Amino acid sequence: MRVLTVPNEFLRRVAAPLARLDGESSAKIREMLSTLARLKGAGLAAPQVGWDARVFVTPGRAYLNPRILAAAGTSIGEEGCLSIPGVVGRVDRASFVRLEYWDLSGRQHTDTLHGLAARVAQHEIDHLDGILFTDRMGA
């Protein structure tokens, strides 16, 4: 898969919910996982590969139709992005999030993520909402 980079306007679109998990969407998610591993990234959202779906992956895990139920704490950290090569910046994020999502088996989960996992989830969900980390730098 090819990762879209700025200024591609697709990165600014709000992604549509994944209506159903079928063979085609499962194959796309597996390809996203493979692409993420190849690029040694922390996360990859469907809009970054030109797919209009509320899906993101982290190494070894897929999050379908994720939704942040709660967020708290403050953590300022450096972020980069596969869609904005060479740019790194400090971003203020919640230090933990409670996340609802579905997995590749169609099972619903609610997890609490802390630290880097919480930061990655927030960064990727921003992608699903058409927001780039550079929009949050210095905010």
Positions annotated as catalytic residues are: 124
Instruction: Please enumerate, as own/partner, the contacts of 93-98 that have beta carbons within 8 Å and a separation of 24 or more.
Output: 93/118, 93/119, 93/122, 93/123, 93/136, 94/118, 94/122, 96/71, 96/72, 97/68, 97/69, 97/70, 97/71, 97/121, 97/122, 98/68, 98/69, 98/70, 98/71
- Given a contact cutoff of 8 angstroms between Cβ atoms, the answer to whether 65 and 102 are in contact is yes
